[in-house]
Amino acid sequence: MVQLENVSKVYQGPGGPVRALDGVSLRIAAGEFVAIQGASGSGKSTLLLAIGGMARPTQGRAIVAGSDLYELSPQERARFRAAKLGFVFQMFHLLPYLSVVENVLIPTLAKAAEGARERARELIERFGLSHRLGHRPSELSIGERQRVAMARALLNRPAILLADEPTGNLDPDNARQIMGYLAEVHRQGTTVVVVTHEELAAQFAQRTVRIIQGKIGE
């Protein structure tokens, strides 16, 4: 499902070039649940963005769900993301002026889907938020906001769910609940890739990949 071939990513910083990824090669099978673990600044989020078509490698190839991502045009890559990928981020990225159900429906702006509203309500119920349909993000707890973000990521039934520090802002109980939801999504056939600096993910993932200073660790 994911094949990275000798991927490097160099950013130009104020003090000179910064090598965020350094010759990373990685394969993730369809239906696998992988945790990519590393310290802050290790390159794990850059790696996830490369898989998600949002960080063009300076060198190497990223082949995801059969597509060589960075050979696609920006428009083709955007359509690919809308059709194949779901994203969950640490900071939730909910729109403050939209209700819960409206936030979950945001992916339909890029890819219209028949029955999307019904699907959104099903996901909201699945994540225990039926009583919050009309609430704004400011009226939700932090754990509830992350569940809304997960429902939004799953709206278009992505083949791959990418989660960047999804428990980073959560207390231990909510963190375990979110990881449990990710495990449930995986059991239903979705490929799940989580990047984290925490040990909790390893308890749920099938495989843990460690990244150290932009390289895959032993």
Contact (Cβ atoms closer than 8 angstroms) between residue 53 and residue 77: yes
Contact (Cβ atoms closer than 8 angstroms) between residue 136 and residue 96: yes
Token pair listed for 78:
């955007």
Kindly list the structural domains of the chain, giving each domain's residue range(s) and its CATH number in brackets, ordered by start: 31-54+84-216 (3.40.50.300)
Which residues of the chain fall short of a pLDDT of 50?
none
pTM (two decimals): 0.91
Q: In the block, which residue shows the tokens 């955007």?
A: 78
Per-residue model confidence (pLDDT) at position 91: 83
User: For residues 118 and 95, what is the distance between their CA atoms, to the nearest angstrom?
Assistant: 20
Per-residue model confidence (pLDDT) at position 153: 93
User: For residues 188 and 143, what is the distance between their CA atoms, to the nearest angstrom?
Assistant: 22
Q: What is the tens place of the pLDDT at every residue in 92-122?
A: 889 999 999 999 998 887 556 678 889 999 9
Residues pairing with 85 in the sheet = 160
Per-residue model confidence (pLDDT) at position 218: 57
Per-residue model confidence (pLDDT) at position 111: 59
